[in-house]
Amino acid sequence: MKIHEYQAKTLMAARGIPVPLGRAATTVEEAAAAARPLIEESGNPVVVLKAQIHAGGRGKGTFQEHRDLRGVNVIADGIDGGPEAAEARVAELAAMMLGSTLVTVQTGPEGKVVNRVYLEQGIDIARELYLAVLLDRSVSRNVVMASTEGGVEIEKVAEETPEKILRQEIDPAIGLADFQANELAVGLGIEGDTAKAFIGFVKGLDRAATELDTDLIEINPLVVTGGGQVMALDGKMAFDDNALFRHPDVAAMRDESEEDPAEVAAKEAGLNYIKLDGTIGCLVNGAGLAMATMDTIKHVGGEPANFLDVGGGADEGQVTTAFQIITKDPAVKGIFVNIFGGIMRCDVIATGIVAAVRNVGLSVPLVVRLEGTNVEKGKEIIRESGLDVVAADSLRDGAEKIVDLV
């Protein structure tokens, strides 16, 4: 699960990790009203207005409705004009940003609608660094990654100048050791009191990762201020969905408006669904088989409309919901059900399909391939239902049949 920058910063601040002062707003009035207290509290007449969406690259991103407007805007009107001028400018920009669609390198060309902005104190930046805590699968541990190349895409740094990325593995029984944090500070060329601040920062980040079960905490950029402070100028957090049961406070931060409504409905029903651009709806058990089913449809000349894994122990109700989600997509011109039962029993799937078709109705061709646990019972249920279902013998056979029918 992803959260917004302002939420990530709240979680960091609560753990003593330095972040700029800021206030989130969903309306123009709220945004404007936030300027004066922020300026007074920080003592800096400069503020920064940032679009809050679940995607990076906001600083360089532009709005579909306002080609010249970026997702992050430094507002310096307060220097000469005082808080009133800052307020006026914040209101003007917030009015353009809220409700408009921001397109960044990470959103895809369709962009994302901005429902919330974050107004932050301006920061006097001396250096921009990169810092992240994430899982390294090859060692089955979290690692800290740091780089002097902050504010740019880290993938690019990794590709072009991999020597500029520093790495420390975290022993789960110990956490990030002081010497490791110190090695990072030395590697980044940070000295004196700033090094102390950095060590505190990175150890705090490691603790936050453990306490909150994050998949990823990424601070890009991490800044050293003119005064030698270390601060998270941006903050991104993603969480391990499997551990959210331990963190109801984090789970409550979910912003469903950032997610595809069909994907949200699927998740609520315990299904894994991802919308794609094709015409052939897929209902499969098992993530690997679901991916392979999409691959095979494409291989025989079709385009999958979705990824849908009904999981290991789906019941009739879930199968019906899965059918509803697939048939709701107007692009779907045919459906391929591909089941190789292990935990999943073919008779349960078959009963679900029959019930779903009777409930939801079916106006497109349906190809069903069943194999595995209780397969004979499953086939019998479909045969006896009298429904117009095309049976397939294998994955490839089924993919070819549905592509032909569509």
Partner 1 sequence: MSILVGKDTRVLIQGLGRTGQFHTDKAIAYGTQMVGGVHPSRSGAVAHFEGETDHSGVPGRDDNYSVDLPVFATVKQAVAETGANASVVYVPPPFAADAIMECAAAGLDLVVAITEGVPVADMIKAKRYLADKPTRLVGPNCPGVITPGECKIGIMPGYIHQRGRIGVVSRSGTLTYEAVYQLTLNGLGQTTAVGIGGDPVNGTNFVDMLRMFEDDPETEGVIMIGEIGGTAEEEAAEFVASGMSKPVAGFIAGTTAPPGKRMGHAGAIVSGGKGTAEAKIEAMVAAGIVMAETPSDMGEAMARALG
Q: Which of 6, 118, 130, 273 is catalytic?
A: 130
Query: How far is it, in rounded angstroms, from Cα 72 to Cα 109?
Result: 18
Please confirm, yes or no, whether 380 is among the known catalytic residues.
Answer: no
Q: Cβ closer to partner 1: 186 or 343?
A: 343
Q: Cβ closer to partner 1: 138 or 363?
A: 138
Amino acid at the residue 200: G
Catalog residues that contact partner 1 under the rule CB under 8 A: 106, 135, 137-138, 140-142, 154-155, 158-159, 171-173, 210, 213, 215, 240-243, 245-246, 272, 274, 276, 284-292, 294-296, 298-300, 304, 307, 309, 311-313, 340-343, 371-373, 394-397, 399
Query: How far is it, in rounded angstroms, from Cα 101 to Cα 55?
Result: 12
Sign of the CA dihedral 330, 335, 341, 344?
positive
Residue 141 CB, shortest distance to partner 1, in Å, is 6
Q: Cβ closer to partner 1: 73 or 321?
A: 321
- In the block, tokens 């007449």 appear at 45
3-state secondary structure of 235: coil
Q: Cβ closer to partner 1: 231 or 337?
A: 337
**Interacting residues of 5 by C-beta distance below 8 A, sequence separation 6+:** 50, 52, 118, 234, 235, 236
Peptide bond into 18 cis (omega under 30): no
Q: Which of 120, 218, 263, 400 is catalytic?
A: 218
Please confirm, yes or no, whether 130 is among the known catalytic residues.
Answer: yes
Residue 70 CB, shortest distance to partner 1, in Å, is 22
Q: Cβ closer to partner 1: 119 or 350?
A: 350
Residue 32 CB, shortest distance to partner 1, in Å, is 34
> What tokens does 342 get?
């292990």
Residue 23 CB, shortest distance to partner 1, in Å, is 29
3-state secondary structure of 120: strand
Residue 312 CB, shortest distance to partner 1, in Å, is 6
Query: How far is it, in rounded angstroms, from Cα 208 to Cα 13?
Result: 10
Q: Which residues are catalytic?
A: 130, 218
